[in-house]
Amino acid sequence: MKTEATRAAYGRALEALGHSRTDVVVLDADLSGSTKTAAFGKSFPDRFFNMGVAECNMMGFAAGLALSGKTVFASSFAIFAAGKAWEQIRQSICVPNLNVKIVASHAGITVGEDGASHQMLEDIALMRVLPRMKVVVPADSKQTEAAVEAIATTEGPCYMRTSRAATPVMDDAPDFVFGKAVVHRKGSDLALVACGVEVYQCLLAADELSQEGVECTIVDCATVDPLDAETVCEAARTCGRVMTVEEHQIVGGLGEAVAGTLLENGALVPMRRHGMTGQFGQTGPAAALLDHYHLDGPGIAEKARRFLGETR
């Protein structure tokens, strides 16, 4: 199966967007080789600005460009884009509801060898709490390319998380539509609801569980906010149990978004959140870290078995 990091797909889609949209301007914080905005900068040097190691200033600059009618894409590592510049994002972008698209790479434990300081595990929580901010976490490069097009035409601020590590490209998956969850497979025993790199790992877990007679529905919430309540609730009611899986703290992330949605829509079923549980990451290869934190296919399958055993 072909693999590609979602950040690479972002760079390719962004350059393509530059050819069709002359209003698109791109900012980067001296990391364009890693975030993959460099291709846009090479093709459109008059619409690309390297702001240096100054993320807070970059967000203010992005707000100014958006006020002048531009559609602005601003990129850095997630720890800096979502963490360091949070106040500027809130005050200068979200309060006035500006057309700034923050695309942050190197999030989650699959940042790998960069270690805990760079493995941003709180960005989804920080972004989804902001009024007017839309949050997208694509699962593969196919979704990423479609998501770039979608957020470019979505009014107001957007945050998209991309990965450092290469992940399988799911060519047979349904097309991405902003605001809609994707159902990859249907079962009746357990709904696995995931986003980002964990979607493919959930598919591996579902294959393993299927051999034991447990059939899972896999719901891919690439749009974390606004969450597709209809699809999530339908999966919960059909399966009677939900387990969310994310490469993020379970506090404030996808799991809590799903829990709140089920509660508010009267779809209360036994539920388990699986992700990072109040700890920081550590240095190591991405695959080894997924294994260590039980966020790979076998680890998810084992967590699912325990959950099912507790609720039967």
The residues assigned a catalytic role are 55
Please, are residues 163 and 196 in contact by the beta-carbon 8 Å criterion? yes
Please, are residues 220 and 194 in contact by the beta-carbon 8 Å criterion? yes
For residue 22, give both structure tokens: 């002359």
One-letter identity of residue 164: R
Locate all alpha helices (DSSP H) within the chain, ordered by sequence: 6-20, 32-35, 38-43, 55-67, 78, 86-88, 123-128, 141-152, 198-210, 229-239, 254-264, 286-292, 297-311
CA torsion, points 264, 267, 272, 276, in degrees to nearest 10? -40
| CA separation for the pair 42, 273 (Å, rounded) | 43
